[in-house]
Amino acid sequence: MNIRRVRFDHPDALKLNDEVQAEYHLRYGDGGDATSLDAADFDPPRGVYLIAYDEQDRPVATGGWRGRDRNEEGNEDGDAELKRMFVVDGMRGRGLARRILAELEADARAAGRTRMVLETGSKQPEAIALYVSSGYEPCVKFGYYRHHEESRCYAKQL
């Protein structure tokens, strides 16, 4: 597996983003994640975006973090927000998400971020299991979906 840094507007990132949005639609029956994201959100040193490629150079997993500081959506100074963690269906269960998560945590720590935060949903038990098994704990809700019943927020000190 080859993990590369790319921009959030890279064609492979856009392709995988479309797939994750379709997954959200299947699970939640809406139009996908409406959180506002900009490609520049993931530009170092305030963030990074990663794609894992298989042996045939196909994009199979993705994830990124963006720096967030105290704001009206409930973030705290020093937060790194995890976004767009996703593994394509045929590659799940192989530890790709865990590898990407570890790289994102290390990168955010090196950039001076003090806490990794994420928002997921109650209909994503696999994601919740990954985060809990990786040391994340429930935290005060933040972000676009903080008032939604299905929203679940987690944090981990870096």
Number of domains in the chain: 1
Specify if 18 maps to a domain: yes
Phi-psi category of residue 24: left, alpha or beta, with phi > 0 → left and psi -120 to 50 → alpha: alpha
pLDDT recorded at residue 16: 97
Structural domain of 81? 2-114
State residue 30's pLDDT score: 78
pLDDT, block means (10 residues), the chain with 158 residues: 96 96 90 86 97 97 97 94 96 96 98 97 96 98 91 97
Give the pTM: 0.94
* CA 75 to chain centroid: 15
CB count, 10 Å around CB of 11? 10
Q: What CATH number is associated with residue 34?
A: 3.40.630.30
pLDDT attached to residue 80:
98
Short-list 87, 149, 81, CA closest to 115: 81
- Give domain status of residue 123, yes or no: no
